[in-house]
């Protein structure tokens, strides 16, 4: 059963353009599954969740349950893949005003993020905001020395120790880090923190399906087993080497065909605010995987219909170097029926009796028609609904497509050498000892 519908009928391509890359996909599939391609040390994510034991899942769930029962606030410290995946799932599936709900109505502590930037203002306000709260912290870093999360952890660790003492802080800090090496592993062993392991063969942008993402997701009260079932069904569904039967590979092929035709920018579009952060995770996944050797499709996003009133003009009439991938839902969680108004000053009575979701769907369909008419290729991914299962399935869809797409493009999709350039300059400016 296909839990993702992928429609490329408006990709503005002919069949021959699609066909000529099928043989290359077979090779990319083989490189990925047999671990013979570039970056093969980091392809453990391909079947990672299939190897997770019941004991490992229960350990994550029990730790999350303890935090949910005890904590007023839970802070996730991490940058890049160490927080993007978890935030994507939490934003998509939790109440949009979760932190503002009364404690009696929340099924999880208030959740905050730190260490994903170096803003002193943000950090100062966060430290002020959590005063008086029973705070638990999950610090996520393979090395423990990445600047942004290391600074945030130093400050939050000091705050916890000042309030609870070393022993009290030790009970409130969970470290997700390397199995045996690194500064954070050394500190965790010394202080006795509860720890989870970042697998050696899974890179950060693919790590949402490991304890990096699974613990925060479970703390948020998301159905962990349903999420993992969605991922595991994706592992099976998207392992088919036949392009005609594998929508993830179809997506990878189409992106590469469009790129070769001069479409250098891909816009991920959504029509639900709860899905806005999916694009942030997707942008890191594809941008960091493919942007190498002066190559790569530039990934960006539109949150519609909001951005139709800002960037819609650029998409419609700007340079023809863009294509769109639109993610929609067949069913929304809540709906509203619009009613007639006696004065009708806003002229909206023609919508009386219609559901608000139908108006949103018409915005999607009308926009797609206009953009395709304007020579902007459109790819369409639809989910039957937004829940833990379908989101896990969708995220694995993108991960699998990304690995194959990178190989089709001729780059190593599992390294990120360019990320180090800014760090070297920053360290030099700060006078870091060599």
Active-site residue 288, yes or no? yes
Beta-strand ranges (E) seen in 17-103 are 73-77
Catalytic residue among 148, 266, 272, 288: 288
**What angle do helix axes 211-219 and 54-70 make, rounded to 10 degrees?**
40
Catalytic residue among 50, 423, 424, 432: 423
Q: 276 CB contacts (<8 Å, ≥6 apart)?
A: 91, 270, 301, 303
CB distance 304 to 327 below 8 Å:
no
**For the stretch 302-322, what's the b/e string if a residue is b when 16 or more beta carbons lie within 10 angstroms of its beta carbon?**
bbbeebbeebbeebeeeeeeb
Active-site residue 290, yes or no? no
What are residue 370's phi and psi, to 5 degrees?
-65, -45
- Name residue 195's beta-bridge partners: 175
Taking the C-alpha atoms of residue 282 and residue 5, their distance in angstroms, rounded to an integer, is: 18
**Alpha-carbon separation of residue 235 from 2, 33, 53 (angstroms):** 13, 11, 16
Kindly calculate the radius of gyration of the chain based on its CA atoms and give it in whole angstroms: 23
Which residues are known catalytic residues? 288, 423
């Amino acid at each position: 059963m296909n839990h993702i519908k992928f429609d490329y009928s408006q990709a503005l391509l002919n069949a021959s353009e699609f066909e000529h890359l099928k043989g290359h996909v077979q090779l990319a599939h083989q490189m990925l599954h047999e671990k013979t391609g570039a970056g093969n040390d980091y392809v453990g994510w391909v079947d990672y969740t299939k190897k997770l034991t019941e004991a490992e899942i229960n350990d994550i769930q029990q730790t999350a349950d303890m935090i949910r029962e005890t904590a007023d606030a839970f802070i996730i410290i991490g940058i890049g893949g160490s927080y993007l995946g978890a935030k994507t799932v939490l934003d998509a599936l939790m109440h949009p005003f979760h932190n503002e709900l009364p404690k009696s109505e929340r099924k999880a502590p208030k959740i905050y993020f730190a260490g994903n930037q170096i803003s002193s203002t943000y950090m100062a306000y966060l430290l002020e905001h959590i005063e008086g709260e029973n705070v638990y912290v999950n610090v996520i870093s393979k090395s423990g020395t990445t600047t942004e999360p290391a600074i945030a952890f130093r400050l939050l660790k000091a705050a916890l120790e000042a309030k609870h003492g070393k022993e009290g802080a030790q009970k409130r800090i969970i470290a997700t880090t390397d199995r045996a090496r690194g500064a954070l592993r050394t500190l965790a062993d010394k202080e006795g923190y509860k720890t989870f392991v970042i697998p050696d063969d899974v890179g950060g942008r693919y790590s949402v399906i490991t304890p990096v993402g699974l613990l925060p997701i479970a703390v948020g009260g998301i159905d962990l087993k349903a999420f993992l079932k969605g991922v595991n069904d994706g592992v099976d569904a998207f392992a088919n080497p036949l392009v005609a039967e594998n929508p993830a590979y179809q997506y990878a092929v189409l992106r590469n065909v469009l790129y070769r035709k001069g479409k250098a920018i891909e816009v991920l579009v959504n029509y639900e605010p709860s899905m806005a952060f999916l694009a942030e995770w997707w942008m890191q996944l594809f941008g960091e995987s493919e942007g190498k050797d002066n190559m790569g499709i530039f990934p960006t996003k539109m949150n519609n219909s909001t951005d139709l009133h800002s960037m819609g003009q650029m998409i419609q009439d700007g340079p023809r170097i863009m294509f769109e991938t639109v993610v929609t839902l067949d069913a929304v969680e809540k709906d509203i029926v619009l009613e007639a108004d006696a004065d009708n000053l806003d002229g909206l009575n023609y919508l009386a009796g219609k559901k608000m979701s139908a108006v949103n769907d018409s915005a999607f369909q009308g926009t797609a028609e206009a953009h395709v008419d304007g020579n902007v290729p459109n790819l369409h991914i639809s989910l039957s609904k937004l829940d833990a299962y379908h989101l896990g399935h969708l995220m694995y869809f993108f991960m699998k497509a990304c690995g194959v797409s990178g190989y089709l493009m001729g780059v190593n999709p599992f390294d990120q050498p360019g990320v180090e350039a800014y760090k070297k300059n920053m360290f030099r400016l700060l006078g870091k000892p060599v």
